Structure 1
Amino acid sequence: MSTIEIIVLALIQGLTEFLPISSSAHLILPSQLLGWNDQGLAFDVAVHVGTLLAVMIYFRHEVANMLFAWSNSIVRKEHSADSKLAWWILFATIPAGLFGLFGKEFIEENLRSAAVIALTTIVFGLLLGFVDIKGKQDKEINALGFKGAMMIGLAQALALIPGTSRSGITMTMGLALGLTRTAAARFSFLLSIPAIAMAGSYLTLKLVTSAEPVDWQAIALGSGLAFISAYTCIHYFLILVDKLGMMPFVIYRLALGGFLVWFIS
């Protein structure tokens, strides 16, 4: 990969991982429009490390509180709002893990096409716009409950379908369950931590067991840029989403999906 490819793809991954606009829809464009080759396993690992560090550092206080409370719930049988949230996130991650384990090969062989990405970008964009308008938006995360958390976890499993957007589908379900925009976004970001960790671990294992050469300079650059762009994205998204709502992202998804339809037709 050239330095320009590393910079562009790392920034795209970092920004689109947490915006409800689909990273897969954006990562396909450079290869389709510019003829760039697949970035390879090593680069995938790098950007996953960068985005994981970004979300964990941004929510470091919440993560520390949840880990401490979760440990207490096991050792001392003491339960709190933080321990419940930690358990919700762990259980809500299971559907995506199972779907990835049993369905990833089928998805990679049959659904990684520009046509599928165009369709899912538009359909799930419209669904996000609908719940943003119709949702009650009167609940905070603590009112979600185990059932609500699992419903968001089931929605997250759909994100393995290219073009869906992990953050987009989890925020959509959160809004449908009555969460405020900020609460839906925060839960989506916290739920992303084990999901990204699982994906990163899987890719790391594939990298370790493959014969692919590792360009450590490219990994460092890609990981650093993904971290910076992801951290910045999370910060400003949480500031702006309550004021602007989801409509700017819905409009953007529809425009992107329309462009993809035009491009492949």
Structure 2
Amino acid sequence: MDFFQTVFLALVQGITEFLPISSSAHLILVPVLTDWPDQGLAFDVAVHLGSLVAVIVYFRHELLRMTLAGLGSFRGQWNSDARLAWAVVLGTIPVVLAGLFAKSYIETVLRSPLVIATTAIVFGLALWWADVTGRKVRTEDTIGWRTALFVGVAQAIALIPGTSRSGITITAGLMLGLTREAAARFSFLLSIPTLIAANVLIARDIVREPGDIDWTMTLLGAAVAGISAYYCIAFFIRLLSRTGMLPYVIYRVVLGLFLFWVFW
């Protein structure tokens, strides 16, 4: 890939990873719509690693408290941070299991523009419904094992391209009465172990089938994805109370209809 393609794809990953519009769908569609060469596994690892660093840096203070509180829970010392830490652990289990058992099927059968069009519209409308009807009164401190498991199962469904991991987990949180900000923050915290697991799986494939890696473009992609992801998280959470989910729902429906028009 050249400089422009690298920066463009890295921006796509960084911006769409945490917005409820599906990063995987956009990374699949860009080469299809532009006839660019496939970016390769090494680039995928790099941009996902950049997004991972961004969310860790953004939530560094919360993560430190959660880690210490989670360790303290082994000594019987429970508080809201410990419960949130274990909620993240529990919420990650469904997507790890789904990824291990369904990875090959998803990557071969479901990477279709028509699948992406369908999931973009269906789960976009689900996000709108949850935002309109959700009570939006609960904070992250109220998240227990039932909420964590429900959101975790939703996250596993997001392995289907076009669903959007952040979109469906925020939808699930809103359905259970979380505020927009709480649903988004829990979604982003859940992304940390999920991104780690995804990077490990993709890195394993690279080790099995090593190829030529353009390290300059790969590192550039990681940096651009990380910086754009960090600011995307910050602005998204800050604007949620004012914009709600409707702009992202409209975007998803328009994207889905466009894909049906192009590929039907």
Give 2:241's aligned residue.
242
Indicate conservation of the 8 Å contact 2:51/2:225, yes or no. yes
Amino acid of the structure 2 residue aligned with 1:238: I
The TM-score, its normalising length taken from structure 1, stands at 0.98
Give 1:201's aligned residue.
200
Helix, strand or coil for the counterpart of 2:38?
Answer: coil
Give 2:124's aligned residue.
125
Structure 1: 4+ residue segments shifted above 3 A: none
What is the CA–CA distance in structure 2 between the aligned matches of 1:44 and 1:25, rounded to whole Å?
13
Indicate conservation of the 8 Å contact 2:154/2:168, yes or no. yes
Aligned pair count reads: 264
User: Once the 2 structures are TM-superposed, how far is the Cα of residue 226 of structure 1 from its aligned partner?
Assistant: 0.3
Q: Percent identical across equivalent pairs?
A: 53
User: Once the 2 structures are TM-superposed, how far is the Cα of residue 91 of structure 1 from its aligned partner?
Assistant: 1.1
Amino acid of the structure 2 residue aligned with 1:4: F
Give 1:25's aligned residue.
25
**1:94-124 deviation digits (Å, cap 9, x = unpaired):** 0000000001111112111000000000000
Quick check: 1:186 aligned with 2:193?
A: no
Amino acid of the structure 2 residue aligned with 1:253: R
Give 1:177's aligned residue.
176
Helix, strand or coil for the counterpart of 1:160?
Answer: coil
Which structure 2 segments of 5+ residues have no match?
Answer: none
Indicate conservation of the 8 Å contact 2:95/2:156, yes or no. yes
Indicate conservation of the 8 Å contact 1:25/1:118, yes or no. no
What is the CA–CA distance in structure 1 between the aligned matches of 2:210 and 2:185, rounded to whole Å?
39
Quick check: 1:40 aligned with 2:40?
A: yes
User: Once the 2 structures are TM-superposed, how far is the Cα of residue 61 of structure 1 from its aligned partner?
Assistant: 0.2
User: Once the 2 structures are TM-superposed, how far is the Cα of residue 57 of structure 1 from its aligned partner?
Assistant: 0.1
Give 2:212's aligned residue.
213
What is the CA–CA distance in structure 1 between the aligned matches of 2:257 and 2:24, rounded to whole Å?
15
Give 1:99's aligned residue.
98
Quick check: 1:226 aligned with 2:201?
A: no
What is the CA–CA distance in structure 2 between the aligned matches of 1:104 and 1:204, rounded to whole Å?
14
**1:18-73 deviation digits (Å, cap 9, x = unpaired):** 00001122223321221012111110110011000000000000001011111111
Helix, strand or coil for the counterpart of 2:136?
Answer: coil
What is the CA–CA distance in structure 1 between the aligned matches of 2:166 and 2:152, rounded to whole Å?
11
Helix, strand or coil for the counterpart of 2:158?
Answer: helix
What is the CA–CA distance in structure 2 between the aligned matches of 1:253 and 1:242, rounded to whole Å?
20
What is the CA–CA distance in structure 2 between the aligned matches of 1:143 and 1:124, rounded to whole Å?
25
**1:97-156 deviation digits (Å, cap 9, x = unpaired):** 000000111111211100000000000000000111011101111112110111000000
**1:157-188 deviation digits (Å, cap 9, x = unpaired):** 00100000000000000000000000000000
Amino acid of the structure 2 residue aligned with 1:40: G
Question: Where do 1:70-149 residues align within 5 Å?
Answer: 70-74=70-74, 76-149=75-148
User: Once the 2 structures are TM-superposed, how far is the Cα of residue 5 of structure 1 from its aligned partner?
Assistant: 1.1
What is the CA–CA distance in structure 2 between the aligned matches of 1:147 and 1:30, rounded to whole Å?
37
User: Once the 2 structures are TM-superposed, how far is the Cα of residue 210 of structure 1 from its aligned partner?
Assistant: 1.9
What is the CA–CA distance in structure 1 between the aligned matches of 2:210 and 2:176, rounded to whole Å?
46
User: Once the 2 structures are TM-superposed, how far is the Cα of residue 211 of structure 1 from its aligned partner?
Assistant: 2.1
CA RMSD of aligned residues (A): 0.9
Indicate conservation of the 8 Å contact 2:87/2:143, yes or no. no
What is the CA–CA distance in structure 2 between the aligned matches of 1:140 and 1:33, rounded to whole Å?
41
The TM-score, its normalising length taken from structure 2, stands at 0.98
What is the CA–CA distance in structure 2 between the aligned matches of 1:196 and 1:105, rounded to whole Å?
18
Amino acid of the structure 2 residue aligned with 1:179: L
Quick check: 1:56 aligned with 2:30?
A: no
